[in-house]
């Protein structure tokens, strides 16, 4: 099976970071640019025997002109140029034009703690069920607090507990036309279980408000009913998938993590 991995590295200069840097995926983390850590994880996944015997993986970097360097281009099979002021949804559409595989794993370019085993765990979902349109890792709050103590993240409360959606998801390529129709509202509300429940239907919103016990299977069914898109959400303790870089304190949390982890 052919899989593409699309790394989303668009966006403008992060105003909160000093000294100024043109793209936040170039922020140095534990001796390497953030983007390099992600590229390393993908490469290590590709060379894993279990993965290489099952999947052929091709990598795509979607990025701004600042990333169009010889070093960055050497880390990926294909480069897609985007404008700094493009919306995330527009960048996803642009990146999907370069996709050739049967499935594509879309990863944001600001999660430097990702490792090969995390990617492999996501791909393993295909071996269990390859009929779903979208596979969404859902990270448990306890896992994030364990590996990134003191980190301030936004969580949603569902029946399974307090969770955060990962900064990646796996999508069946030929299902993208269906996803495209609702992508703007999904991306805008992806960090709020409350807002997602609103879009999935008033009954789900009421249940979330009154009981805070809407479950992942209920959300899956509601999503399918509202959009015709089949989704599999799966709990994971791979905290690294949900810890991105949006502010100075995130860098401090991630540096502490790497000091414990080492250069693996």
Task: Give the pLDDT confidence of 153-170 residue by residue, as tens digits.
Answer: 888 888 899 999 899 999
Which residue has tokens 């790394």? 7
How many residues make up the chain in this entry?
264
Which residues of the chain fall short of a pLDDT of 50? Answer: 202-211
List residues bridging with 80 in a β-sheet.
Answer: 62
pLDDT of res. 207: 47
Residue 195, pLDDT score: 55
Q: Write down the pLDDT at residue 157.
A: 83
Q: At what angle do helices 193-200 and 216-227 cross, to 10 degrees?
A: 50
If one looks up domain 2-261 in CATH, what number appears? 3.90.550.10
Q: Select from 173, 165, 229 the least CA-distant residue to 60.
A: 173
**What is the spatial distance between Cα 205 and Cα 226, in angstroms, rounded to a whole number?**
13
* Number of other residues whose CB lies within 10 A of the CB of residue 93: 14
Nearest-angstrom CA–CA distance, 246 and 108 = 12
Burial of 103 (0-12, 13-18, 19+ CB in 10 A): buried
């Amino acid at each position: 099976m052919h899989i593409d991995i699309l790394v989303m590295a668009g966006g403008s200069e992060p105003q909160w970071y000093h000294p100024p840097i043109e793209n936040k995926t170039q922020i140095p983390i534990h001796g390497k640019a953030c983007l390099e850590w992600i590229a390393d994880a993908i490469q290590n996944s590709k060379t894993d025997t279990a993965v290489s015997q099952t999947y052929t993986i091709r990598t795509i970097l979607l990025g701004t002109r600042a990333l169009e360097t010889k070093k960055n281009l050497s880390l990926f099979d294909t480069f897609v140029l985007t404008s700094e002021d493009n919306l995330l949804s527009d960048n996803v559409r642009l990146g999907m034009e370069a996709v050739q595989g049967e499935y594509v794993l879309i990863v944001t370019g600001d999660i430097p703690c990702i490792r090969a085993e995390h990617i492999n765990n996501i791909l393993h979902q295909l071996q269990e069920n390859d009929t779903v349109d979208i596979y969404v890792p859902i990270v448990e709050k306890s896992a994030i607090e364990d590996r990134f103590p003191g980190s301030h993240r936004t969580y949603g409360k569902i029946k399974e507990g307090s969770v955060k959606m990962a900064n990646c998801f796996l999508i069946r390529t030929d299902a993208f036309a269906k996803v495209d129709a609702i992508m703007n509202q999904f991306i805008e509300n992806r960090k709020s279980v409350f807002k997602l429940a609103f879009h999935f239907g008033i009954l789900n919103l009421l249940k979330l408000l009154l009981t805070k016990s809407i479950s992942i299977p209920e959300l899956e069914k509601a999503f399918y009913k509202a959009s015709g898109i089949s989704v599999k959400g799966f709990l994971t303790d791979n905290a690294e998938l949900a810890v991105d870089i949006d502010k100075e304190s995130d860098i401090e949390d991630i540096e502490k993590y790497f000091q414990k982890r080492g250069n693996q």
